[in-house]
Every structure is written in structure tokens, then in C-alpha cells.
Structure 1
Amino acid sequence: MGVINIEDVRPGMVLDRDLRPPQGRVLLKGGQAVGEEHLRICRIWGVAEADVRGVSAAQAKQSALESLDPDVLNILRLLAEWRFKATDRRHPAVRGLVRVFLERNARGLSRACAREAAVRLRGPKPTPGEMPPPQPPLDCEEMLGREQELASLPAVFNEIVEAVKSPRSSASHVAEVIGRDQSLSARLLRIVNSPFYGFSGRVDTLQRAVAIVGTIQITNLALGIAVTTVFSGIPPEFLDMRAFWEHSVSVGVLARLLATHVGTGGEERMFVAGLLHDVGRLAVFRNFPEHARRMVLLGAAECEPMDALERREWGVSHARVGSLLMAQWQLPENLQRVVDCHHAPGRAEAPAEAALVHVADLVAHALALGHSGTRRVPPLDPAAWKRLGIQPSLLPSLAAQAESQMRDILKILLDDDA
């Protein structure tokens, strides 16, 4: 009767047509009933919609909302009002994200748990007298100098940078350079063998990984992974580092998924740009903790976008600090430019790439996939959304697919089983 969003499909509904993921193979034939396991696989494989017999899209959407506790929904709606205050909720994409946020967080929650979730997702509220006094503008030159002394990049990092720059770098040479760092090599192979790539056979060597994924793609990925090892010593009361990397990995995964869906290419480069988009904020937390602490509290107290608050308070945004830091590390210029413009994609030299990270960042914040110090959702640039040409109906499956891949990669990057 109608094509409905996969998040509105319920076990027992009967398909009108075959259910296929983007890869093309049939997951479930028309005329069969959908089960819980089918829905789980659909979310992992990025199936956005299903043609269901006897149910319209409007009926399915209403049924999904009616299955949720209205008191729980009201608690989360109040939270959504606060979290989405800095962006235009009239935009179809933002409306869609609010709905996905509500449904994903309300499902199966009791009222007591909903209140706890609301406190956790909003973060600490500033108390009277807690706000540090205004700080002088950031001295970027001083900060970059400190970072040059503090940064403990892997020994092979500069060799990988040179391999990226050289048009003569062969697959075997790149594999040999990366292979000199056993920890980096192990993480790379674990990612290549994870559902992030979904290869049918196991990839046992770096040489094979380079051959299958590509020389430039693997070196970009290696650089991104190497940078995640740099930052330590940031006080946990200032920033939850697990939440930071959860957000950053989510943005990387979402940017890569969007690049695949839109067909822009450069998927690994987009993953690395998303992964590193907020490293400037880490540099500020490490070198100017009072500046950073004041910014976190201001972000909770005011609804002005965080990057605007930074320019007002610091004289520079975390995006610009990140791009300067990446330039110091000699990372590829296209990555520097995307990071610099991820809050203002319209002024980027490659606006399509900046739009991918911009939208990915918005989605990750909207769905509360970690955080980077701010709990509010940044504004959406409507032109960036329009440039990508995607529909809000894609958001639920995109969110589910991204969260699944993010969990896998986070375990690998942090080298644990969290």
C-alpha cells in the first residue's frame, strides 16, 4: 500500500515488494512478514524504506509515535527544545532529526530513566559563581608552539605524510612505512576487516589492504588514526574524552556514508576530515583550559552557536585552530580546508566536501552520538543540505548504520571493548 520509513516498520508487517539493501541482494522477498532480525540488518546495511502491504506512511508514522510513552516523549521534547534552539526547526531536515532523536531515545524508556537521560544529554548546568571571568584572546602562535613541543605523534607519521605527498609512492612502499608501527598497523587492519568496509574475505596483510582499499585511501586513514593518539592529559572535568572521540568517529562515519550516498568519492578522506574536525578544540583544552572551561559553560548557558561564541570570546574558532594545527602537521591541504570550513561550508574551496562534514556534524550532535564539549545542536546551513540533495527520509537508516559502525571503530581506536 505504501513505501514507509524503515524505522516505522514493525515486526509482523508484510512486504509488498522485495526488500533490498543498497548493495542489491534480496534480504526478504515480497509477501513475507518482517521480523526483528530483518530490521536490525536493514539498519546496519542502510536500508531506508520498505514497501509494506496495507499500511500507509502516515499510518505507520502515527503508529510508531503511539507506541511510545507520552510522558517520556514530553520529557524528551523539552530536552529537544533546549538542544535544537540554535538551529531552524522549521527546516525539513531538522524536523526529521528531532523526530529521530525523540524516537530513538524514547523507545523502551521508563519515565524515571527518561529524566536521567535528559540530565545526561543536557550536561551539567552552570551554577552561580562557577563561570570563569572573560579571558584574553587566544594566542594561536603560542598554542601552536606548545603543541609542537607536546605532540607525541608516532615515529612513522612524517614518513606517512611524505608518502601521501609523493606521486611515486607505491603500494608496497606505503605498506612498508605503515608496517614499521605495529600498533598503527594492527588498528588499520582491524578497521579494514570491520563492517566499516564489509569485505567478504579476511584481509591479513597491509599489502593486501593497500591493494584493495587504495594507496591514498589507506595513507589518509593511517594519518587520521595516528592523530587520535596525540592528545592526553586533558582534565576529565573539562572534557569527557570518550564522548569526544565518540562524536568525532560518528562525524567521520556519517561523512563517509553521505559521500557514498551522494557519489562524491573520496570516502576515506571524508572519514578522516570528520574524525579530525574538532581537534582544534582539543588543542585549546590542553593549552588554555580556563578559556575552554568558560566556553563549555557559556555554551550551556547561551543558545548562540559555539563557533560564534568562540570567535566572540577567543577571537578565533576551533575550526580555524584545527586547520592551523593540521597545517603544522603537514596534513593534506584539502583536509585542512574542510576542517576550517565545516561550520561555514559556503566559503570553502570545495563546498561539497565541507557540506558533507557540516551535515555529518549536525546529525551526530542531533542524535547525541557523543559530544565535543557542547550539547547543543549547531545551526544547519540550508545551502549545504540542498547541495547534497538527500531526503530527510534517509536520516533514520543513516543514523542506525552510523552508530553501528561508530561502535566498532571506537573499540579499535581506543583499543578496548567498551
Structure 2
Amino acid sequence: MDTVSIDDIKDGMVTAEDVHGQQGVLIIPRGTVLGEEQIRAMRAYGVRDVAMVSDAVQPDDTAARIAASEARCRELLRPRFSGLDLDAPFGRAVFDLAAERAASRALEAGIDWDAPLSEPCLLAPPPEEQLFSATAVDPAGLVSDEVELATLPEVHLRLLDALQSETSSSQELAACIGHDPGLTTKLLGLVNSPHYGSRAPVDSISWAVSMVGRKELTTLAMGLAAVSAFDDIAPELWDMRAFWGHAAACGVYASLLAEDCPGTAPHRVFVGGLLADIGQLVILRKLPAAACRALLLSRTEGLPIAVAETAVLGFDHTAVGRTLLAHWHFPQALTAMVADHLRPDGRPETRETALVHVADILATAWAWPAFSSAPVPALSEAAWDSLGIAPETLAQVAEAGDVRIRDIESVFFAANPLPRH
């Protein structure tokens, strides 16, 4: 600590002690980085000498702190990205963005890199008889008659009829959806969000149909109805906020990617992304111990969740999702996005499934907390190539996604806000 004459003080110096005027009035608190305004104030109060941390201007170390944080984030993130080729343009772009975003969040959260990072909380309920019985478990057995949409048959079946009929009017569709007030509220909230770019308040389903389109709105309503079917899962059993946070991110990233992929429908891939992992919830509801065991295996061994599920059950959540949506008579295009998003074939006619595949990777890679999240799935190069999207586009997708994901969260999960991505 040095004492510096008021005549020698320069902008950027830092006070080591509180600075008082001649009458004992506090002028500048300790630790203040001085500028012209503070220096003038001290002169006005007759201050002659000031105790300083240093008699040299303190450099701005923000850039250095960001660089150090990003380097540490790269080190900690790398194990989660073992399934992604980080030397390929896509993998390199996704990993670089993940490190940059994590570094920014870490500085914002004030993470102490010298302290041990918290481990993920993994539940371990007692073993279930189904896992050790002579009767094999299969996707059809999980889906059979115990999982139903909360709005069946009044809303869901009518939505299916409306989707398949070219003659149903906006008024008929509005009347169908209006039977479920909760669905109506969420649907209008979503249509009014910046995700759909509404310039004027949309206060009726009929108006929403006119603005968004009959098929688009019907598909969205079906997706929201499917989400509502699992709103009774106990939060102490599973981190449902994180689950639906990932689902919202997957839907948003898929729709943003679709904007650069001609011939695909952003509204449809949004719903496909939202429901991509819905099979996990069926497994959780019917076999909670198996679901938690698969999650534990995934995190401790660094395995993608689908690989861990197959090791525990003999099948993964995409097989259950296919069976579930077929049971609910969902359109084939949506069913394919859910069932095949982990293993897309890369054909031009299945690009919407490829969009959900890529979006799922982005949502996992860019999740927060970054260091305890799930391993990042592998990329199908054929699927990525079929989209014709440049890796440089991913930075814009990440930036636009942050805003849209918060919009979705505020509509779907207003009572229990999700962690920000």
C-alpha cells in the first residue's frame, strides 16, 4: 500500500482505504477504481493524500479472466464430448461454443475453480421386481393402457380428426381446443411469444389459426397435449425442470436450424424436438429404478443415455417413444422424428428427423450446468451433410436460441422456471 499525493493520482488507481473529507465525510469507499469524477470530488473536499493499493494504474484483467475461465471449461467439458469428433468442423464449432458459453456463465456465477465442483445428484431407488422377473420387459408392455393423454378422448381425438381433415374450419378447431382451458392458455401464450413473431396480441384460438395455420397449430396443440400427459411425475423422483428444459432447447434449436433448411417445417420440427425424449418418461413412470440406474450408468461411465438404457433394459427410449406415439395415433412424420432422431439415415426425405438429431446434440452440448450434464451424443455425418447447413451458422443458432428458449420456458413452465441455457 502506498500513499499518493492528490497531484499524482491517475485514472485507474485503486483506493486501499476509505477516503474522507476534512469534516470526516466519506467521499470514496475502499476498493474504488478512481476516475476523473472521483478525483475532482477529492480535490473539492480538500483531500491531499490518498492510500492506494498501488501507485500504478491497475490493468483491466477481464480478458485474462475470460481466457483462463474458457481454458478451464475446455478441460472440464472434454470428457462429455468424447462421442463427438472435435477435429471435424461441426464438432469443433459445437465444442468451441460450449466452452465460450460455459466460461461466460462460470464468470457470471462466480465459480471458484480451486473448489471441488459439485457432483450431479443421482437417485437410486430400490430394485424393482420387473428387472429380475422371468418375464421380459419390452416397449409395448410399458406403453400398454397405463399411459394416456390427459385430454383423451375429447380433445386429442378431435385434434387428430382436424389434422386429417381438409374441411375443418378455424371455428371447429377453436371449439375443440377450447374444451381444455390449460391447453388453450399455453397455446395462446406460445403464439404470442417472440418465438412465433406475433406483432399484435392474439387473444383467440380462431385468430391463432389464421396467423399460424390450421395444420401448424393443430400439430403444436398435439405436442402440448402430450407434454401435459406427464405433468404428474414427482419432482423428487426426477429433475423434471431439467428434462423439459432440454426438451424446449431441442425444439427451439430444431426450428431455428429449419429456417436455413428449405423444404422443412419449423413448427413441426419444434414439436418433434419437444417430444424427442418422451420415451424416457414412460420408462420413468413404469420402471423408475431402471430409469435411475440407466442415468447412473450414463454419468459414471460417460455413456450416452440411450446406450445405458439398452444395457439396463435391452432397448432405449426411442423405441418406447415410437410405440407411444403410434399408440396415440400421431402423424408418421412426428413419430419418425422421435423414434429415429438418435440414428437418422441421412436421406433427403428424412431431413426433419436429421434436424431433431442435430438439435438434440446442441441442447445437450450447451446445457447448464455444463460440467455435470449428460454426455453429448455422436453425430451422424450423413444426417448433418443432408441439411446443407454451414457450421458457422451454429453461433447464430445459439444466440437466437437463448432468447427463444426463455420464451418457451415462460409459457410452458411459468410456475417453475427452468435453468437458463
TM-score (norm 2): 0.75
Asked if structure 2 preserves the Cα contact closer than 8 Å seen for 1:244 and 1:370, the reply is no
Evaluate the alpha carbon distance shift between residue 219 and residue 417 of structure 1 in structure 2; reply closer, same or farther with a 3 A threshold.
same
Corresponding residue number in structure 2 for 1:252:
251
Asked if structure 2 preserves the Cα contact closer than 8 Å seen for 1:156 and 1:180, the reply is yes
Write the deviation string for residues 11-42 of structure 1: whole angstroms up to 9, x where unpaired: xxxxxxxxxxxxxxxxxxxxxxxxxxxxxxxx
Distance 2:374 2:311 in 1: 19
Write the deviation string for residues 320-361 of structure 1: whole angstroms up to 9, x where unpaired: 101110111111111111111001111779421110000000
The correspondence of residues 291-306 of structure 1 with structure 2, limited to 5 A, is 291-306=290-305
* Offset at residue 311 of structure 1 (A): 2.6
Asked if structure 2 preserves the Cα contact closer than 8 Å seen for 1:184 and 1:222, the reply is yes
Evaluate the alpha carbon distance shift between residue 138 and residue 347 of structure 1 in structure 2; reply closer, same or farther with a 3 A threshold.
farther
Evaluate the alpha carbon distance shift between residue 199 and residue 112 of structure 1 in structure 2; reply closer, same or farther with a 3 A threshold.
closer
2:307 is equivalent to residue 308 of structure 1 = yes
Distance 2:412 2:110 in 1: 34
**Is the helix fraction higher in 1 or 2?**
1
Distance 2:231 2:300 in 1: 27
Evaluate the alpha carbon distance shift between residue 238 and residue 98 of structure 1 in structure 2; reply closer, same or farther with a 3 A threshold.
farther
* Offset at residue 268 of structure 1 (A): 1.0
Asked if structure 2 preserves the Cα contact closer than 8 Å seen for 1:132 and 1:293, the reply is no
Distance 1:172 1:223 in 2: 17
Distance 2:75 2:237 in 1: 26
Larger mean CA deviation between 187-196 and 72-81 belongs to 72-81
> Secondary structure at 2:168's aligned position in 1?
coil
Write the deviation string for residues 114-145 of structure 1: whole angstroms up to 9, x where unpaired: 5499946x62479xx99969945533232112
Corresponding residue number in structure 2 for 1:361:
360
The correspondence of residues 280-359 of structure 1 with structure 2, limited to 5 A, is 280-346=279-345, 350-359=349-358
2:89 maps to a residue whose letter is P
Corresponding residue number in structure 2 for 1:227:
226
Write the deviation string for residues 51-71 of structure 1: whole angstroms up to 9, x where unpaired: xxxxxxxxxxxxxx9554344
Corresponding residue number in structure 2 for 1:97:
94
1:88 maps to a residue whose letter is D
Corresponding residue number in structure 2 for 1:401:
400
Asked if structure 2 preserves the Cα contact closer than 8 Å seen for 1:138 and 1:314, the reply is yes
Which of 85, 88, 91 is the aligned partner of 1:88? 85
Corresponding residue number in structure 1 for 2:142:
143
* Offset at residue 165 of structure 1 (A): 2.0
Distance 1:116 1:187 in 2: 44
Distance 2:365 2:273 in 1: 15
Count of aligned positions: 350
> Secondary structure at 1:90's aligned position in 2?
coil
Larger mean CA deviation between 229-238 and 173-182 belongs to 229-238
Asked if structure 2 preserves the Cα contact closer than 8 Å seen for 1:220 and 1:269, the reply is yes
Evaluate the alpha carbon distance shift between residue 417 and residue 116 of structure 1 in structure 2; reply closer, same or farther with a 3 A threshold.
farther
1:73 maps to a residue whose letter is E
* Offset at residue 168 of structure 1 (A): 2.3
Larger mean CA deviation between 161-170 and 94-103 belongs to 161-170
2:272 maps to a residue whose letter is A
> Secondary structure at 2:111's aligned position in 1?
helix
Evaluate the alpha carbon distance shift between residue 187 and residue 345 of structure 1 in structure 2; reply closer, same or farther with a 3 A threshold.
same
| Higher relative contact order, structure no. (Cα contacts within 8 Å, ≥ 6 residues apart) | 1
Corresponding residue number in structure 1 for 2:185:
186
Instruction: Give the % identical residues.
Output: 33
* Offset at residue 369 of structure 1 (A): 5.7
2:191 maps to a residue whose letter is V
* Offset at residue 233 of structure 1 (A): 4.3
> Secondary structure at 1:100's aligned position in 2?
helix
Unmatched tracts of structure 2, length 5 or more: 1-61
Corresponding residue number in structure 2 for 1:152:
150
Evaluate the alpha carbon distance shift between residue 283 and residue 399 of structure 1 in structure 2; reply closer, same or farther with a 3 A threshold.
same
2:98 maps to a residue whose letter is F
The correspondence of residues 207-218 of structure 1 with structure 2, limited to 5 A, is 207-218=206-217
Which of 111, 114, 132 is the aligned partner of 1:113? 111
Distance 1:73 1:106 in 2: 5
1:362 maps to a residue whose letter is I
Distance 2:115 2:407 in 1: 23
* Offset at residue 235 of structure 1 (A): 4.3
- Larger Rg computed on CA atoms: 2
2:270 maps to a residue whose letter is F
Distance 1:338 1:117 in 2: 42
Evaluate the alpha carbon distance shift between residue 416 and residue 102 of structure 1 in structure 2; reply closer, same or farther with a 3 A threshold.
same
Please provide the CA RMSD for this pair.
3.0
Write the deviation string for residues 200-255 of structure 1: whole angstroms up to 9, x where unpaired: 22222211110111100000000111111111443435421011111001111111
Asked if structure 2 preserves the Cα contact closer than 8 Å seen for 1:72 and 1:109, the reply is yes
Corresponding residue number in structure 1 for 2:382:
383
TM-score (norm 1): 0.76
Write the deviation string for residues 258-277 of structure 1: whole angstroms up to 9, x where unpaired: 11121223211111110000
Larger mean CA deviation between 362-371 and 350-359 belongs to 362-371
> Secondary structure at 2:367's aligned position in 1?
coil
Asked if structure 1 preserves the Cα contact closer than 8 Å seen for 2:140 and 2:320, the reply is no
